[in-house]
Amino acid sequence: MSKDKFVLEYDFKKISPSILWTFLSTPQGLGEWFADKVDCDNNEYTFYWNKTPQAATLTSSRMGVFVRFHWNEAGNDRTYFEMRITTSELTGATMLSVTDFAYADEIDDLKELWSNEIERLQRRLGTL
């Protein structure tokens, strides 16, 4: 059974894309909202939740635009999670798009998890 791709979008209002970028691309920034703690060795990231580690490889990034991680335990699975910053041409708002994959019966739970984590980030940045 393969996983299904889904994309979520979040409005960060007028927050500077460079400030948001710091929270998406650095271990310290990711540790502020995404995980309890994040360690990095080159492109290998270890995320800790309740002292339990989960390793991921930064497979692709473009400074100020996007980061893409592949969970190491996923093996040859071609899935990833990506966080991409864009600016709305209409409103000038900074937008964050999250792309992830999940099995059909897990998508709603994973969407809720992302929404909760992004809400933490929005509160941290003062956009909520």
User: For the segment 34-75, what is each residue's pLDDT rounded down to a tens digit?
Assistant: 999 999 999 999 999 999 999 999 999 999 999 999 999 876
Displacement of CA 86 from its chain's centroid (Å): 14
* Encoded tokens for 87: 């600016």
Displacement of CA 53 from its chain's centroid (Å): 17
Please report the pLDDT score of residue 2 as a whole number.
Answer: 83
d(CA 38, CA 53): 9
d(CA 83, CA 80): 10
Q: Is the pTM of this model over 0.95?
A: no
For the domain 4-125, what is the CATH superfamily, name and number? START domain (3.30.530.20)
Domains of the chain, residue spans: 4-125
User: For the segment 68-88, what is each residue's pLDDT rounded down to a tens digit?
Assistant: 999 998 766 778 999 999 998
